[in-house]
Chain A
Amino acid sequence: MRGKVAVIGVGMIRFGELFEQSLENMIQEAYLSCLNNIDKGLDPKEIKAAWFGQWSGGFIGQGAQSGQSLATYVGLLGIPVTRLENACPTGGDTFRHACLGVASGAYDIVLALGAEKMRDKPSAESLGGAGGGGGSETGNHPAWMMGQGGPAIQAMHATRQMYELGYTMEDFARVAVKNHHNGTFCPYAHYRFEVTIEQVLNSYTVCWPLHLLDCCPQTDGAAAAIVCRADLAKNFTDKPVYVLGSNIGTDHSQLWDRKSFVEQLSTVRAAKGAFEMAGIQPKDVDFAELHDCFTNTELMNIEDVGFARKGEAARMLKDGEFDMHGRLPVNPSGGLKAHGHPIAATGLGQVYEVVTQLREEADKRQVKLKNGIGVQHNVGGPAFGVSAFTILSRSP
């Protein structure tokens, strides 16, 4: 993939509790924002294919979604559109497919868009829906994983991180403090207020050892990217961003088949494969948008991706290495914690952030660039067995 694909535009809407906006509204605004982002302009008719990330489908009540929905809403009837769902990595994987569409030579310019409407149901209901820990039927049996959604599964990891690695609830809370702080600088973030460690630890215990403020919110949102052949990119923008690698890693879909609860092999595999595709190493990366659905997950992700040895991330966080102006900024956008997690849009929202940072257009939250390389990461699914990892660079 390296050398073949470039991002020419990214767009998104403010993530949040957007009660007045329908799925169609959000999709249209994200799409238009993306078109406007292309500085030399693009005739939409040049978009020859699209991938539509949409996780919840009929579950939360917005009706079943297939490719036709996207084609209709953005006025691109006639082009091939595929709806894609791959759990929490839906957004990252939607972007990956768009890149594959171009890298394969089949299309020159394609659209990747992800949108999620979660707040049409009370948050307790959509929270429960986000995953059982067993694939298909086993996830439905009350004797096994029924009802063990995201928070319970990550909390089980947190317990083990505390037992095996000596991490504390304070270590986890520190992630929320960092990400909320970063979120105050991002105009698109769901939450734009600071929190302290005390506030996190005093918030309601959702799933011991995780508190309410350790958990990302239920969010509505949409984000998009337009991707084209690397050699054509400069026709549309002076600041293309190049895709060095985009990968999916998989691991067990039944939580009881997994060996370790302090490491997620799906992330390990996704990152390793992407770094091989790109021909670079973790130490070459300037900053990262990692999937902090829960605070303890961010620490695990940092280690799984290769930015720290297992058991080291908490100390490094405490030393400020992952702060916005630290050695390796993690989640300058505020992460899922403060920026929000509209599931199918999340990965594409991260792409938006990485591209914006690499173009040095991130304003008050601009991180320092050395090699001009940033990454996005998602992980999710029953047993958190699927992960997306993409590496982007300002040079080809």
Chain B
Amino acid sequence: MTQPAPASPVFWRFNAEVFRLIGIRCRKCGHISYPRTKICHECGSLDLQEYQLSRTGTIHTFCINWAPPPNFEPPIIPVAVDLDGGGRYLGIMTEASTPEEVKVGAKVEMVLRKMITDRGLNVYGYKFRLVEDQQ
């Protein structure tokens, strides 16, 4: 699969979602999701409002991928995070690499990181970092 170039409209369309974490919340069933959409993926309702996703949460599940695609140096740790206030975010960890550190239930926060570089352009987005003080 050819990766679309960072300058492609594919990335530009999602600036608000990627940088400012604007998603949607369904007024009918409460489902929170991103990118913004016009029909609720969960229940099909059209009654949706913009929703600001939180930048902090706890890890719902993860794995430690030693065979990631090109551009990523292994290991990469994909995490599904239950965001504070609702919604789930699929991202990857930074500054952590072992199952001793990354655990279901660990508190994490989003930090801006350089994802990939293609044709000299960087793609930035949020990764998750373990919160220092886990109380």
Interface residues of B in 33-72 (CB under 8 A from A): 33-35, 41-42, 60-72
Distance between B117 CB and nearest chain A CB, rounded to angstroms: 10
CB distance from A322 to the nearest CB of B (A): 25
Instruction: Give the docked Cα–Cα distance between A57 and B117 (Å).
Output: 28
Residue of A nearest to B81 (CB): A256
A90 to B18 Cα, complex, angstroms = 32
**Does B120 sit within 8 A of A, measured CB to CB?**
no
Question: 0/1 per residue, A137-150, Cβ < 8 Å to B?
Answer: 11011111111110
A44 to B43, CA, bound (A): 47
Does residue A257 face the partner (Cβ distance < 8 Å to B)? Answer: yes
Contact with B along A114-129 (1 / 0, CB 8 A): 0000000000100111
Q: Is the CB of A156 within 8 A of B78?
A: yes
With contacts A141-B125, A143-B126, A257-B33 taken as known, whether A208 is within 8 angstroms of B64 at the C-beta atoms is yes
The count of chain B contact residues (Cβ–Cβ below 8 Å) is 43
Determine the distance from Cα of A133 to Cα of B87 in the docked complex, in whole angstroms.
17
Chain A residues contacting B70 (CB-CB under 8 Å) are 128
B42 — nearest CB in chain A belongs to which residue? A257
The 8 Å CB contact of A261, one of B65, B67, B80, B127, is B80
Contact A133 B90 (CB under 8 A): yes
> Among the listed B13, B18, B87, B90, which residue makes an inter-chain contact with A255, where contact means beta carbons less than 8 Å apart?
B90
- Interface size classification for chain A: 35 or more
Are B33 and A155 neighbours in the complex by a CB distance under 8 Å?
no
- Beta-carbon contact of B69 and A156 below 8 Å: no
Q: A13 at interface (Cβ–Cβ under 8 A)?
A: no
Q: Is the CB of A209 closer than 8 A to any CB of chain B?
A: yes
Q: Is A157 on the interface with B (CB-CB < 8 A)?
A: yes
> In whole angstroms, what is the CA distance A257 to B32 when docked?
8
Do residues A206 and B66 form an inter-chain contact, with CB atoms below 8 A?
yes
Alpha-carbon distance between A261 and B76 when the two chains are bound, in angstroms: 19
Residues of A within 8 A of B99 (CB): 208-209
A137 to B4, CA, bound (A): 9
Q: Assuming the A-B contacts A252-B41, A254-B41, A257-B31, are A158 and B18 also in contact, with contact meaning beta carbons closer than 8 angstroms in the complex?
A: no
Closest to B23 in A: A256
Instruction: Report which A residues bind B (CB closer than 8 A).
Output: 59, 124, 127-129, 132-134, 137-138, 140-149, 151-152, 155-160, 163, 204-210, 252, 254-257, 261
* 4 cross-chain pairs, A with B, having the tightest CB-CB distances, nearest first: A143-B125, A155-B63, A142-B115, A208-B64
In the assembled complex, 13 residue pairs joining A and B whose CB atoms fall closer than 8 Å, in A order, are A140-B10, A141-B14, A143-B127, A146-B69, A148-B65, A155-B63, A155-B64, A156-B62, A252-B42, A254-B33, A256-B33, A256-B80, A257-B42
